[in-house]
Amino acid sequence: MKLDSLYQEIILDHYRNPHHKGLREPFDAEVHHVNPTCGDEVTLRVKVADSAGEHDQPVIEDVSYDSMGCSISQASVSVMTDLVVGRSLDEATRAYDEFLALMQSKGQLEPDEDVLEDAVAFAGVSQYPARIKCALLGWMAWKDATVRALAADDGSAPDGPTADQPSAHRPTADDIEETA
Ligand code: ZN
- 4 Cα–ligand 1 center, Å: 19
- 53 Cα–ligand 1 center, Å: 37
Residue 35 belongs to domain with CATH number: 3.90.1010.10
pTM above 0.85, yes or no: no
Number of domains within the chain: 1
pLDDT tens for 90-131 read 999 999 999 999 999 998 988 999 999 999 999 999 999 999
Count Cβ neighbours within 10 Å for each residue of 53-73 and write b for 16 or more, e otherwise.
eeeeebbbbbbbbebebbebb
- 126 Cα–ligand 1 center, Å: 13
* Residue 97 in domain: yes
- 179 Cα–ligand 1 center, Å: 55
Q: What is the structure's pLDDT at 5?
A: 85
pLDDT tens for 139-159 read 999 999 999 999 987 755 445
Q: What are phi and psi of 109, to 5 degrees?
A: -100, 135
* Residue 166 in domain: no
**pLDDT over 60 (residue 66):** yes
Nearest to 117 by CA among 44, 42, 19: 19
- 134 Cα–ligand 1 center, Å: 4
Under a CB-based contact definition with an 8 Å cutoff, are residues 12 and 118 in contact? no
* Residue 20 in domain: yes
- 94 Cα–ligand 1 center, Å: 24
- 103 Cα–ligand 1 center, Å: 14
Length of the chain equals 180
- 64 Cα–ligand 1 center, Å: 19
Measured distance CA(105)–CA(119) in Å, rounded? 14
Q: What percent of the chain clears pLDDT 90, i.e. is strictly above it? A: 73
Give the domain extent around 127: 5-154
How would residue 2 be classed by pLDDT, with cut points 50, 70 and 90?
low
Structural element, H or E, at residue 65: strand 59-68
* Residue 74 in domain: yes
pLDDT tens for 18-59 read 999 999 999 999 999 999 999 999 999 999 998 756 657 899
